[in-house]
Amino acid sequence: MMSANGGTFLEWILSAPEILISALFGVAFCLGYVGFKHVRKTAKVREQQLTKALENAQRRLRSSISDTRSLLNQEASIIMVFDRHTLTLLFANQQALDLFGCETPSQLSDQVLMRPDAWQPQPYSLLDFEHWMGQLKASGSQRKEWLFSGIEGQGIWTDCFVGNTVFEGKAARILSANNIHRYKIDRIADTLRNRVLSGINAGLPLENVFDSLCKLAEIRFQDSRCLISLLDHQRDQLVNLGSSQFARQFREKLPVIKVSYGATAIGTAAYTKNRIICESVKDDHRWQGYSALTDALNISSVWCEPVVDQSGSLLGVFSCFSAIPRKPDDEAIIEMASIVSLAGLAVERQDWRKNLEEAASSERFVRGLGVDLINLAPGQGFKDEMRALLHRIVAHYELGAVGIWEKPSDADGFIPLVLTDKNREPDQHKTQLNAAIPSQLLDQPDIDPCSGAGERYVTQQDALHRHICVGDEPKPVFLLPLRAIGKEDPYIGFITVQSQFVYIAQEVIDHLKVIATMVRTVLLNRRLVQSLSHAMESEKFERRKLEGELSVARSIQMAMVPGGGQFRETYRNWTIEAWLKPAKAVGGDLYEFIRLPTGKAVIAVGDVSDKGAPAALFMAKTVSLLNLLARARDGELETIASELNNELCRANDTCMFVTMILCTVDLKTGHTKWLNAGHNKPLGINGIAAPEFLTFESGPPLGLYEDVSYPVVASRIDPGQRIALYSDGVTEAFNAAGEEFGDDRFLSLGYRAEGRTEPLLGFMREQLQGFIGDAPQSDDITMLTIHHHGQAS
């Protein structure tokens, strides 16, 4: 039955295949649906897993980015991240934002980095930065120092390191930088400072050195512009220097500034020699009237420092200008002090070099002028020749006017002897040449007749000014008194000097003082000659008047030697004494004591070959030349003697000559150099040895033969030792019995002087005068003693 049913069913199935297919499709559909549901369920589970994984990854990414930014913000360095292809700023840490004064990276990019006009004018630009960033290869890094613009446009130097990286999933470039602005500025400042010192040593023009100093100050003091104003001593004003744009603009509007209070802060700083700080020029009275200048140059505050030399004298003013009101702190003041000291060093170095060059030129000029002055003949052409010499002085030193005033021996006032003015003809001085000046006008409180320093400026406020000022402009007149040593009235005249501008340079004044001593000698010589001439003309008529004139001549001649014939000077452990007694009214003996700046002294005793007036004139010429050469040659005996001999040989038709013993003594060590030109041997007295005549190799007398060399012998005057120099009038003195004093008697004085407390010169003079007694003096007598105090060794 089952078989039958089974077969029937199978057959039925086979007989109806569409039913079979439908059934199979149904089964397949069911299986497919079940499989689809399973796959769908599996996919949904997988999607949920992937979504969760993505969310976890994004959360981790956000956390990583946050951690990265946080770490970068914690870095002490400046960190900036740029897109590798477009250089778009993706990130900047807080240090970068603070340094550049920005709040967001986009603000930093737009206002600082990617804005061309926000970069400093030098040395880099935005194009340079983009080119440098573009040079970086796919792998690698590079480093460079860059100057960016910080807050308020101030430059900031940074040491930058750039490399490739990935930032927030993007190809990027990371820039790490350190702020090296202070280090860089210090290095640049050191370079400029070394350049300044090298320029000073190399003798570069002051303007170049000043430009470097201004750059140094502008680097140290941000947002500042600097200027140096140099003092013009003669015009008493400040001259603005510098080649920078600011210096040129300032100089165009204000080329010079007066040295006076209220003439801007610069002039006030020069006048007071103090620091001047104007935090706001608009509210400062010293800048009133200069608003056009300050507005045009955008000046809001000024800081002025005076530049002075080692002695405190003003050289100029260093000024620092700013567009914003500011006040320097202590650190800035210290920095400014070093810059100002360099400026002072530069000016002093140039002045030293200039003074050395001018000194060499002036030495030759003064030496030649001195010879011409000494050789002036005191006759009819004296004034014309003197005027020609004054013209040379005016031209050489670029002066305005020079005048010589003298006090005649028979008048109470002063009269102009010679006047010369660069801007006036000689005939225009006739009115002033006839005007006398009362001597009382010279009795000013700052001129002590007993002192050796009376040089001063006479200004318009002085009563004397209108009498001695040459020209219409009331310029200060520099007055150099000429003194007659040993006279009750110390003035024999004075020299007046006026500058072309206002004041005379100090180095010129120093030279004028030397010239004044030579003019004084000329006037004394002229007085001597005039006195002698007048005496000779009056001899036939008035013997008494002749004796009076000769007495004046004697006084004048005696005034030409130190102490007027009675000389004593004590210096530390040295005593120098001298005594001169002419046989007649005037004589030919001489002595000299000249202190040199080097601590040495030149000592001389001489005897002219003749007596009376000719010997006195020759003696005056010798003393004048000796004074000039001793100072000009700094005590070099061989040079002094050689040049003195040649000068005395010139125009010596009378064949006069002078014997002389010369020595230089180092007053510190006692070392001595001797030169003998045909003179008597010195007498040496030593406490532990017998007195003896010091024997030196001698040369011929001065004035006989030209181009003669003289030997110089070195020795030493020990403590306790005494030296006596004398003329032949001592050893050739005769008593009433006709006996000569002689060398033996003079040598015996050395033995007898031992143990005596009285001065050696006084003892010798007493013994000599006792020997001569009432006998007439046959020759001039001169003695000079040198005593080195102390215990003999």
Q: Phi/psi zone of residue 771: left (φ > 0), alpha (ψ -120 to 50 degrees), beta?
A: alpha
How far is the C-alpha of 702 from the C-alpha of 105, rounded, in Å?
97
DSSP string spanning 398-436? TEEEEEEEE--TT-SEEEEEEEEETTS-GGGGHHHHT--
Residue 572's CB: how many other CB atoms inside 10 A?
9
How far is the C-alpha of 487 from the C-alpha of 525, rounded, in Å?
16
Q: What's the token pair of residue 714?
A: 């070195």
- Do 187-353 and 561-788 share a fold? no
Between β-strands 224-232 and 170-179, what pairing exists: parallel, antiparallel or unpaired? unpaired
**For 567, phi and psi rounded to 5 degrees?**
-125, 135
How far is the C-alpha of 271 from the C-alpha of 74, rounded, in Å?
55
Which residues on neighbouring strands pair with residue 258, listed in sequence order? 237
Domain chopping of the chain, boundaries? 24-74, 77-179, 187-353, 375-528, 561-788
How far is the C-alpha of 389 from the C-alpha of 402, rounded, in Å?
10
- pLDDT value, residue 2: 45
- pLDDT value, residue 717: 92
**For 208, phi and psi rounded to 5 degrees?**
-65, -45
- From the first residue on, what is the mean pLDDT of each consecutive set of 10 residues in the chain (793 residues)? 55 69 78 80 80 70 65 80 86 86 87 83 84 78 84 80 84 86 77 80 80 82 85 84 86 88 88 88 84 86 89 89 84 85 84 75 79 79 86 85 82 80 60 51 42 70 81 82 68 85 82 85 80 72 62 73 89 91 82 92 91 82 91 92 93 88 93 95 86 91 92 92 93 91 90 81 92 89 90 50
How far is the C-alpha of 426 from the C-alpha of 103, rounded, in Å?
83
How far is the C-alpha of 661 from the C-alpha of 591, rounded, in Å?
10
In CATH terms, 187-353 corresponds, of 3.30.450.40, 3.40.50.2000, 3.30.70.2740, 3.30.60.50, to: 3.30.450.40
End-to-end CA distance of the chain: 175
DSSP string spanning 735-789? -TT--B-HHHHHHHHHHHHTT--S-HHHHHHHHHHHHHTTSPP-S-EEEEEEEE-
The CA angle 510-513-516, to the nearest 5 degrees, is 155
- CA nearest 265: which of 241, 224, 313, 299? 299
Which homologous superfamily is 561-788 in? PPM-type phosphatase domain (3.60.40.10)
Q: What is the 3-state secondary structure (H, E, C) of 509-537?
A: HHHHHHHHHHHHHHHHHHHHHHHHHHHHH
- CA nearest 371: which of 394, 402, 392? 392
Residue 202's CB: how many other CB atoms inside 10 A?
9
CATH class name, domain 77-179: alpha beta
- pLDDT value, residue 680: 93
Type of residue at 606:
G
Q: 89-125 in b/e burial notation, b at 16+ Cβ within 10 A? A: bbbbbebbbebbebeebeebbeebbeeeeebbeeebe
How far is the C-alpha of 763 from the C-alpha of 215, rounded, in Å?
74
**For 492, phi and psi rounded to 5 degrees?**
-105, -10
How far is the C-alpha of 368 from the C-alpha of 389, rounded, in Å?
11
HSE of 109, CA atoms in CB hemisphere, 13 A: 16
HSE of 59, CA atoms in CB hemisphere, 13 A: 6
Q: Are the C-beta atoms of residues 303 and 279 closer than 8 Å to each other?
A: no
- pLDDT value, residue 630: 92
- pLDDT value, residue 543: 64
Between β-strands 256-258 and 237-241, what pairing exists: parallel, antiparallel or unpaired? antiparallel
Type of residue at 626:
L
**For 493, phi and psi rounded to 5 degrees?**
165, -170
Q: Are the C-beta atoms of residues 750 and 691 closer than 8 Å to each other?
A: yes
Residues 6+ away with beta carbon under 8 Å from 69? 91, 93
CA distances from 764 to 388, 580, 605, 739, 771 (A): 49, 13, 16, 18, 11
Q: Is the pTM of this model over 0.75?
A: no
Q: Give the 3-state secondary structure of residue 579.
A: strand
Q: Are the C-beta atoms of residues 731 and 680 closer than 8 Å to each other?
A: yes
How far is the C-alpha of 386 from the C-alpha of 380, rounded, in Å?
11
Q: What's the token pair of residue 225?
A: 């512009």
**CA-based R_g, the chain, Å:** 50
Q: Give the 3-state secondary structure of residue 37.
A: helix
- CA nearest 369: which of 561, 516, 495, 491? 516
For domain 375-528, the question of CATH label 2.60.40.420 is answered with: no
Question: How would you list the strands of the sheet with 301-308, edge to edge?
Answer: 256-258, 237-241, 224-232, 314-322, 301-308, 276-278
- pLDDT value, residue 446: 42
